Amino acid sequence: MDVIVETNPQTASQAGTDLLATLIRRKPTLKAVLATGNTPMDMYSRLAALKNAGKIDAGQMTVFQLDAYLDVPDTDPRSLYGWMDRSFIQPMDIPATQVHRFRETSDDPHGDCVRYADTIRASGGFDLAVLGLGPNGHLGFNEPPSAADATTRVVTLTPESIISNAVYWGGIARVPKVSVTVGMDALLASSQIILIATGAHKHDILRRTVEGPVTPDVPSSFLQTAAKVTIITDRAAWEGDR
């Protein structure tokens, strides 16, 4: 694992932007699965600024949705696809034909997950996974316990995730309880993984991610076993509140 410890969340975002820009320039047809959540948003904005300045062209990229709440339509402000669309797909001008996604409302979510996993496999897997870090070590919505071979699937959220996501949606009652997520299997097989985690509130789980035992109880700890992982963090998350 490479670890980049920046001074603050802004410089961490810039480091992430520089790395993403390098990867897109190196391979314009990059196939990437991308997290929503608050942490990567500044990085995506900075990348869009580079694109608007003509310094990068992401028009050949293929983007895969990482996770979604079930039965939340795109028009709902809680839709994770809607969030990804606003924060990355539109600003980066990714053509709709190069976007793969979960169906968020479906009569057959289990079958949809199998079909989505097939789509990922058929495309040859991910060149890049950009991930955030859940407070319980979830990656996407791979909630603990999630083994390294956990597949793309329907997941019931843990109480901890419901509480942590309540800030986005104005209270616990408004957080959907069931989600779908790209599996640990596809994420860990990605040629490269960037994990971005900033702020003192991520300190404990970041430490357990990088140096704790590798265990399904902390799904992010499996990153210790992945091929190429870059962790982008800041002092508060890396060192804690000292």
Would you please indicate which residues are annotated as catalytic (active-site) residues?
67, 136, 138, 143
171: phi > 0 → left, psi -120 to 50 → alpha, else beta; which?
left
CA dist 33 to 44, 48, 152, 188, 198, Å?
A: 13, 17, 13, 12, 20
Find out whether 195 and 222 touch, Cβ atoms under 8 Å. Answer: no
Q: Which is nearer to ligand GLP, 8 or 38 (CB)?
A: 38
- Least distance CB 162 / ligand GLP (angstroms): 10
Per CB under 6 A, the list member of 17, 161, 192, 209 interacting with ligand GLP is: 161
Percentage helix, strand, coil, to 5, in the chain?
Answer: 40, 20, 40
What is the footprint of ligand GLP within residues 28-47 (CB under 6 A)? 35-39
Dump strand ranges (E) for the chain.
2-6, 31-34, 62-65, 67-69, 99-100, 128-131, 153-156, 178-181, 192-197, 229-234
Under the criterion CB under 6 A, does residue 66 sit at the interface with ligand GLP?
A: yes
Scanning 130-138, 144-152, 170-178, 218-226 for contacts with ligand GLP by CB under 6 A, the matching segment is: 130-138
The least distance separating ligand GLP from the CB of residue 48, rounded to whole angstroms, comes to: 18
Min dist CB 134 to ligand GLP, Å, is 4
Check: CB of residue 187 under 8 Å from CB of residue 147.
no
Q: Name which position in 132, 137, 144, 176 contacts ligand GLP (CB under 6 A).
A: 132
**64 versus 141: smaller Cβ distance to ligand GLP:** 141
Q: Which of 140, 144, 176, 183 binds ligand GLP (CB under 6 A)?
A: 140
- Token pair of 118 as six digits: 């097939």
Specify the length of the chain in residues: 242
Q: Which positions lie near ligand GLP, rule CB under 6 A? A: 35-39, 66-67, 132-134, 140-141, 161, 165
